[in-house]
Amino acid sequence: MVRGSMMGIDENLVAVRLERLLARELGLAPSGLRGNLLGAIRERTKRLGVSELEYVTVAGAGDAGAVRELAALADHLLLGHTHFYRHETVWRWLEDNLVRELGTDAECGMRNAEPRRFGAPPASPSGGPTVVRALAAGCSTGEEAYTLALLLRRMFGDNGYHVTGVDMSERALRVAARGEYPASEVAALPEAWRAGALAEAEPGISRFVERIRCRIDLQWRNLLTGQVEGPFHVVCLRNVLTYMEEPAVERILGAIEKLLARPGVLVTAPQEAFLVASRPGLKPAGHGLPVFVSAPGGGRGLHPPDGGVCTRLTAGSAPGGGRGLHPPDGGVCDRLRLGAEYAGRGSAEWVRFEGELVELMKLPAGQVEIDLSQVKGLDYHVKRSLRSAVKLLAAGGWGVRVISDFGSSAPDLDRHGG
């Protein structure tokens, strides 16, 4: 057994205690800690000049200083890896659709003009223009915050946006505040976005110019305690929930929804999208992207993936203009048929469908039939996602019938797809 060098205490017990503190104060799950916890404890105790037991006392005091110390410890244990223009398809979607989703009066016909300006920011409640506000939650060393800034600058002009970047790592925030990065990393940004935004700090190092840096406010914040002030038209919450315990995920998502303007856009990491897909105030943007839109007033339409077939309508949903569960004359489809084309779909498409099932909870309870008989094989994550939605519907009084290659069954997907 590993023993502490200072007092002969069991370092593993210290580590367990600190894992509990990290979960309680920061929401971090032990499974999300990637680094060597014992090594991190040794480094922090050496830096502070205290014993392991004294360190537990310091970190467990429950005051603001203790939380910051736990965040410093966590900084050794989280990957914190990020880069500019990460997940290019998401940024392209934002560039093409953000104005429409925010409901501005911008003329999208200008989108090929240089510099690319889409018009005024969204109107304020008083009718006058306001600044588009964006939040990079868990901004790490700043690459995402600067990418957001360049996108919004290109769309709304030098004075039409403001970006807030928050993180628990003081070290990472210092890097972000300098705004200096290897030129090879900055090159990942589209050339048109970089124009006029960077200067050479030294050979091989680029620095964002002052008029960009002054539009970014970097703050030390703990997302678990909801210390961020909104609202924001765009929120990037990427590779944060991955590290969190389930209760912390719910608290953070609840806080983020309150921060998100209506209408507004939330961007997550692809592997985290399933955590957001079933939230009633958000609807998937589509195309399998980890992007969600908050409708005015918190509502959302029903937008099933291709293959949803409407066979009977009941009054209730907002008029659409689309197909499937969003029929032209309004109403809700209460019977779904999923065809064989879904056998090869990725998990993101199935997660979207799970969100649409949960959306039915907002309507009076009825009957829903899901035909999976033509679908051969669902992976574990997809089955878990669908099973969760089906159980929620059943608990809400819905009659749910799942048809699979095993025949008609109760709301149970455990056997399907094998």
Tokens found for residue 183:
């030129």
Tokens found for residue 204:
């091989």
Q: What is the pTM of this model?
A: 0.67
CB 162 within 8 A of CB 231: no
* Averaged confidence pLDDT in the chain: 75
CB 261 within 8 A of CB 232: yes
- Coil, strand or helix: which one is 202? strand
CB 139 within 8 A of CB 167: yes
Burial class for 241, CB neighbours closer than 10 Å (0-12, 13-18, 19+): buried
**Residue with tokens 């680029």, as numbered in its chain:** 206
What is the CA angle 272-29-32, rounded to 5?
65
Beta-ladder partners of 378: none
Query: What are the start-end ranges of the H helices in 120-245?
Result: 143-156, 170-178, 183-186, 191-194, 210-213
Nearest alpha-carbon partner for 265 in 391, 91, 398: 91
How many other CB atoms sit within 10 Å of the CB of residue 274?
A: 22
Enumerate residues 6+ apart whose C-beta is below 8 A from 191: none
**Residue with tokens 């105790």, as numbered in its chain:** 45
| Cis preceding linkage at 129, omega within 30 | no
pLDDT in tens, the chain (418 residues): 333 444 445 778 889 999 999 999 999 988 767 668 888 999 999 999 999 989 999 999 999 999 999 999 999 888 777 899 999 999 999 999 998 888 753 333 223 223 333 444 555 444 434 689 999 999 999 999 999 999 999 999 999 999 999 999 999 999 999 999 999 999 999 999 999 999 999 999 999 999 999 999 999 999 988 778 889 999 999 999 988 998 999 999 999 999 999 889 999 998 899 888 878 888 888 878 999 998 664 433 333 333 333 332 232 333 333 223 333 334 444 444 443 344 445 555 555 566 556 656 556 666 677 766 666 556 555 666 677 667 766 766 777 777 766 544 444 555 444 3
Nearest alpha-carbon partner for 80 in 213, 176, 219: 176
Nearest alpha-carbon partner for 132 in 107, 154, 110, 109: 154
Domains within the chain, CATH numbers bracketed: 11-75 (no CATH), 88-298 (3.40.50.150), 313-409 (3.30.750)
